[in-house]
Amino acid sequence: MRVIVTTANGGVSVMKVEARPDPQPKAGQVLVRVKAAGLNFADILARQGLYPDGPPKPCIMGYEVSGIVESAGEGVEPGIVGKAVIAMTRFGGQAELVAVSRAQVFEKPDSLTFEQGAAIPVNYLTAWALLVTMGGLKKDEAVLIHNAGGGVGLAALDIAKHIGAKTFGTASMGKHDFLRARGLDHPIDYRNQDWLPVLKELTGGRGVELVIDPLGGNSWKKSYAALRATGRMGVFGMSVASASGIKGKLRALKAILSMPRFNPLGLMNRNRAVFGLNLGHMWGEGEKVAGWTQEIMRGVSEGWIRPHVDRAFSFDQIRDAHTHIESRKNIGKVVLVP
């Protein structure tokens, strides 16, 4: 099979397409012939050497795929063979074939293309956990979605709109028209101006009940300052560190040094909460994640979960795909097709 290999830490030139022996499904696994694999920001950070959760290099990244079940291992119902599925893969997804636990596979609804199917797991599970499970977002509450034009950002917007929240989102200006059309109430340009006073003005000085922040560093200080009483801040990434080589390491260090430190007494007296999410550390909580997946699939059938694929790149275009995300060109999901 052909696979995408991150051969070392570095720039896009470390990305290669190589051949590997076909995997065989073990007991409890199915073998999926991949039609589309998600490319995530984590894959970019892993290539840059800034993603401690990634496998040792050389490695095949890939947290999610859609495809057709080609065969089933011992103990798996044979009826699943031939079905179109979506799967969460703990790496190895960016390949023509991947063996994955049956428990991490669910049927792809006919209403979704394979490319849209591969855009579901990471973005929507992350957004669900942030907004619903941990963020407890309610109707008429205000939510600030940072990087609203990214994959997680658009997923969060779908969910926040369904809940009936007032939505504020930071994004590059070029993404604002698209975001308005998707239902974002207040897009904020955060690249050419300080977004905090803009948000405060839009909210009559009060701020918001929920912020989700994948930027890290100093941004977490500002996001915390954007909360009104009973406000919650969910932190889930460190995008500000993104860069190859020494530059990335220095940015990560700067982000760590400029992070806020929270005091429980301060949280108590200001009626605020801070929480963190790392979906990649939820593999031991399969039942919980399966429950979230069911809710998301209900959203697909009811039409309020609308995965938006920005662009599909072939495996051979993997370097272009990385550059596309790194240069902030994507609106929504980037997928890879064999």
Phi-psi region of 217 (alpha: psi -120 to 50; beta: other; left: phi over 0): left
Among 149, 231, 234, 338, binds ligand NAP (CB under 6 A): 149
The reply on whether position 278 binds ligand NAP by CB under 6 A is yes
Among 48, 94, 104, 239, binds ligand NAP (CB under 6 A): 239
Burial class from Cβ neighbours inside 10 Å (0-12, 13-18, 19+) for residue 117 reads: buried
Phi-psi region of 223 (alpha: psi -120 to 50; beta: other; left: phi over 0): alpha
Strands 29-39 and 333-337, sheet pairing: antiparallel
Contact region with ligand NAP (CB under 6 A), list: 79-87, 150-158, 200-208, 295-303: 150-158
**DSSP letter at 118?**
T
The reply on whether position 254 binds ligand NAP by CB under 6 A is no
The distance of closest approach from Cβ of residue 68 to ligand NAP in the complex, given in angstroms and rounded to an integer, is: 25
Among 54, 214, 234, 299, binds ligand NAP (CB under 6 A): 214
The distance of closest approach from Cβ of residue 189 to ligand NAP in the complex, given in angstroms and rounded to an integer, is: 9
Strands 208-213 and 227-235, sheet pairing: parallel
The reply on whether position 279 binds ligand NAP by CB under 6 A is yes
Stretch 154-213 residues interacting with ligand NAP (CB under 6 A): 171-172, 175
Residue nearest to ligand NAP (CB): 150
The distance of closest approach from Cβ of residue 237 to ligand NAP in the complex, given in angstroms and rounded to an integer, is: 3
Is residue 322 within 8 A of residue 336, CB to CB? The reply is no
Q: Cα–Cα distance between 95 and 18 in angstroms, integer?
A: 10
Among 150, 207, 217, 231, binds ligand NAP (CB under 6 A): 150
Find, among 64, 133, 60, 61, the residue nearest to 105 by Cα: 64
Site string for ligand NAP, 48-67 (x = CB under 6 A): --------------------
Q: Cα–Cα distance between 161 and 220 in angstroms, integer?
A: 24
Q: Which is nearer to ligand NAP, 5 or 119 (CB)?
A: 119
The distance of closest approach from Cβ of residue 156 to ligand NAP in the complex, given in angstroms and rounded to an integer, is: 9
Is residue 43 within 8 A of residue 61, CB to CB? The reply is yes
Q: Which is nearer to ligand NAP, 49 or 153 (CB)?
A: 153
Site string for ligand NAP, 69-108 (x = CB under 6 A): ----------------------------------------
The distance of closest approach from Cβ of residue 122 to ligand NAP in the complex, given in angstroms and rounded to an integer, is: 5
The distance of closest approach from Cβ of residue 17 to ligand NAP in the complex, given in angstroms and rounded to an integer, is: 21
Is residue 333 within 8 A of residue 311, CB to CB? The reply is no
Q: Which is nearer to ligand NAP, 153 or 338 (CB)?
A: 153
b/e code 60-98 from CB counts within 10 Å (16+ = b): bbbbbbbbbbbbbbeebeeeeeeebbbbbbebbbbbbbb
Angle, helices 218-225 vs 195-202, to 10°: value is: 20
Q: Which residues pair with 336 in a beta bridge?
A: 37, 313
Residues that bind ligand NAP (CB under 6 A): 40-42, 122, 126, 147, 149-153, 171-172, 175, 214, 236-237, 239, 242, 277-280, 325-326, 328, 330
